[in-house]
Amino acid sequence: QTRPVVIAPDFNFSETYIMDPLADDEKREFIKTVVRGRHKELSDVVIDRIVKKEESYLPLYIKLVVDRLLLLDSEDFANIRALGDGMDNINKYMISLVDDMAEDLEDITVELVKEAAERIEREFVYRTLGLLTSFPIWLSEGFIKQFFERHDWQFNALNFAITVKTLGSFISYNTE
């Protein structure tokens, strides 16, 4: 099964490429690489569930699923404790998250943004995301902070760091 992937469709130089879907072993290796890069681990049963998702032939889709799983916070851990102690219950909870995730790239992106907004600070996340996706240049944290200050919006460096880490799969910013 192959699917066309359009690279930069709004530009004249764009072409359509045929991308072979990732094989299951490639998906597993990709997941492990992403997780290792964040200094975390996922169990094989959770990885297997991700691999079974229909859109998991897309590396970005896999990355967004993993991003959500690595976004666990105190609310998630309270839900896990309600299931009982032990790795089996952590895996059960993560599998339920994977099963409940959207089946297409657009919807999972929306889900991840909404989840980040709920867990960080709604207005801050939406304003930051709006700035980072609206300008044709990469903005720096300093520029965004100044923009917030000019509009009398509260800027929080920790929230900024968490936002770009959480949503970093589909946004870019100038680190200088």
- Note the pLDDT tens digit of each residue in 14-71: 455 566 788 999 999 999 999 998 899 999 999 999 999 999 988 889 999 998 898 8
Q: What is the pTM of this model?
A: 0.78
- Among 80-84, 92-96, 101-105, 167-171, the range with the most confident prediction by mean pLDDT is 92-96
Pairing of strands 3-6, 16-19: antiparallel
Number of other CB atoms surrounding residue 47 within 10 Å: 22
Tokens describing residue 134: 């609206």
What are the E-state strand segments in the chain?
3-6, 16-19
Q: Per residue in 56-80, pLDDT tens?
A: 988 889 999 998 898 888 888 899 9
